[in-house]
Chain A
Amino acid sequence: MKGTYILAIESSCDETAAAVVKNGREVLSNVISSQIALHTLYGGVVPEIASRKHIEKINPVITEALAKAKMSLSEMDAIAVTYGPGLVGSLLVGVAEAKAIAYAAHKPLIGVHHIEGHVSANYISHPNLEPPFLCLVVSGGHTHIVMVEDYGTYRIIGRTHDDAAGEAYDKIARAIGLGYPGGPKVDALAKQGDPNAIAFPRAHIEDAPYDFSFSGLKSAVLNYLNIEKMKSRDAAALTRHGVPTGGDAEGTEACPDTFSDGLTKADLAASFQEAVVDVLVTRTIAAAKAQGVSTVAIAGGVASNSALRSRMLEVGEANGMRVVYPEPILCTDNAAMIGSAAYYEFLRSNVADLTLNAVPGLKLGER
């Protein structure tokens, strides 16, 4: 039986990516050109620099994706592209390129929601996964609990009221001298620390049991650091507590490895991570129970966080639920997940026309 082959393109933030995906589940190629090293210099993604890089990389990345899949453009059944949410300048490169390719090659064009892509990464890693299931979507820009009722049908159960979880990670990483990207760096450091060293607050939002807020947590961590800074200044304690590390990249603070109360930077990272993971897992599992689903998925950049994965697995299984998450390479921004989501749009004939535009603030479930 001939399969359905989709060439997918993703350029919503700082990764230029293209992939060839068969039947929404089988990845024939998954090429990602990352700009992380470039943006590390600035302590975060610089939109104009990201857009310029996308223009340089997009054709080579697409060519490589087709070559690795050992397929030609003419063998593709459709061209898919992320059209939102994301950085508008970045999105526009992928959208304009995909439209031109679809037009010139006479292929249907499919616009894909970036977050639906992240959710769909689970279809690739777990070939037997089918809706309905509940998905926690966590990344630098998103923190959502989403009910996946069917392919392409999403209902938001919970959301953050301020920072996204990944954003909180980035800010804390900067404050303790780890730099960008914060998630993997805090995760690695936290492994050496005591997660119960400091009791950071968990925000509860009235009448919204599945919503999140990370600004209070972020302030609590920054407060702790400020108090430490004052103490160390008073006691000229920098020498006693070790030389501050970090502070090379823009916006990254110098931070001592040990604090006046004897705790370490690793303890702080572990305690912060514990507070984040605790609320993410507790609320996701509670929402799954309330929705009556037995499968819980994680998606998005933060889904590769080791503490989040193991805790969700532990608590989920204790509650008799199946817990799934994509392999790390599919958690990061990639085009294979876009190809997967696009396949189910393709089956429902959700085809875009040549006026498809980038929608930086695209809402989940919107078309």
Chain B
Amino acid sequence: MKLLAIDSSAQVASVAILTEDAVLAEYSVDYKKTHSQTLLPMIDEVMRMTETDPSEIGAIAVAAGPGSFTGLRIGAATVKGLAMVWNVPVVPVSTVAALAANVAGTDAVVCPLMDARRQQVYTGLYGFNGTTIVEYKPDECAEIASVIASVNEFGRPAVILGDAAGIYAERLAKELTVPFTIAPPHLVKQRASSVGWLAFTLLAEGKTVSAEEFVPTYLRISQAEREREERLER
């Protein structure tokens, strides 16, 4: 069985075809072109390159969020369309966990940081037991200061990755009291192979949804809803 994996949660567009023990193809683009235009041609390309017939695809793994609302929805709508026609389940994978999986096997605490604007990041804390991912702190949308405090609290060496790692590099250097490294360029951003690799475990655990059921995990309400709530509280 093959798995198609997709991540369009941030500026990187990434797609991959995997089997349980191999990444047959991975295609990532971190360049200013809209996912709306690139994603499906990229999927077509990896399908062709691996001579994959749609009937071989057993499930579609998708970076379900958090991330750019629009990016997540382009991925979601694409997956919902493909999964509906191919009649396969969808495996939603945490974008943050998938980033952490880029450095699977490390004994450090892994802290992905995705830029959420408004001085916030989408983040979580992960670690590995061998190559099995362990969630230390659930995904959330948080102020960078509170993330730094959590990592310091752990008191263990840390690996930082994600597109906000660079944005907050100075603050991290100044405020982190534990030894840390920022992942190198080939590991620092979203990779569909990581999404797919995690998805195989979730698939085995039966953690799938139908094309119809699948919706992104935003971890943040819309600005209009937030402003309305603030008004109602006053």
Are the C-beta atoms of B36 and A60 separated by less than 8 Å? no
Q: In the complex where A51-B73, A55-B73, A103-B40 touch, is A96 in contact with B78 (Cβ < 8 A)? A: yes
Query: Which residue in B39, B41, B73, B211 is a CB contact (below 8 Å) of A59?
Result: B211
Tell me the complex Cα distance, A104–B60, Å.
13
Contact at B69–A92, with CB atoms within 8 Å?
no
Of listed A42, A49, A96, residue having the most chain B CB within 10 A? A96
> B77 near A49 (CB under 8 angstroms)?
no
Q: Is A129 an interface residue (CB 8 A)?
A: no
A residues 203-257 touching B (CB-CB < 8 Å): 250
Q: How far is the CB of A81 from chain B (nearest CB, A)?
A: 10
Q: Is A105 an interface residue (CB 8 A)?
A: yes
Chain B, interface size category, equals: 20 to 34
**Scoring A residues 246 to 275 as 1 if CB is less than 8 Å from chain B, else 0, what string do you get?**
000010000000000000000000000000
Q: Please, which residues of chain A bring their CB within 8 A of the CB of B222? A: 46, 48-49, 52
Distance A48 CA – B73 CA, assembled complex (angstroms): 11
Q: A100's contact among B34, B82, B218, B224, by CB below 8 Å, is which? A: B82
Task: State the Cβ distance, B167 to closest chain A Cβ, in Å.
Answer: 23
**Known contacts A104-B86, A354-B40, A357-B36; is-contact A98 B81 (Cβ 8 Å):** yes
- Answer whether residue A73 sits at the interface, using C-beta atoms and an 8 A cutoff: yes
B234: interface (CB < 8 Å): no
Residue in B closest to A250 when the chains form the complex, CB atoms: B228
Cα(A63)–Cα(B85), bound, Å: 11
The reply to whether B85 and A358 form a contact with Cβ atoms under 8 Å apart is: no
From known contacts A56-B215, A93-B73, A97-B77, infer whether A105 and B85 are also in contact, taking CB-CB under 8 Å. yes
Which B residues lie within 8 Å of A99 (CB)?
40, 78, 81
- Is A58 in contact with chain B by the CB < 8 A criterion? yes
Q: Is A95 part of the contact surface with B, judged by Cβ < 8 Å?
A: yes
For residue B43, which residues in chain A have a CB less than 8 angstroms away from its CB?
103
Chain A binding surface SS class: helix
1/0 contact string of B195-234 vs chain A (CB within 8 Å): 0000000000000000110011010001111001000000
Choose from B69, B70, B85 the contact partner of A73 (Cβ within 8 Å).
Answer: B85
In the complex, the answer to whether B73 meets A89 with C-beta atoms within 8 Å is yes
The answer to whether A96 touches B82 (Cβ under 8 A) is no
Q: Which residue of A lies closest to B231 (CB)?
A: A250
Interface string of B55-82 (1 = CB under 8 A from A): 0000000000000011001101111111
Which of B69, B85, B225, B228 is in CB contact (< 8 Å) with A104?
A: B85
Residues of A339-367 at the interface with B, using a CB-CB cut-off of 8 Å, are 354-358
Residues from chain B with Cβ under 8 Å of A96 in the complex: 36, 39-40, 73-74, 76-78, 81
Residue ranges of A at the interface with B (Cβ–Cβ < 8 Å): 41-42, 46, 48-49, 51-52, 54-56, 58-60, 62-63, 73, 88-89, 92-101, 103-105, 250, 354-358
Can you offer 9 A-B residue contacts whose CB atoms are under 8 A?
A42-B224, A55-B216, A92-B70, A92-B74, A92-B77, A96-B36, A99-B40, A100-B79, A355-B37
Which 8 residue pairs spanning A and B have beta carbons closest together? Answer: A100-B81, A96-B77, A104-B85, A48-B222, A46-B224, A97-B77, A59-B212, A101-B81
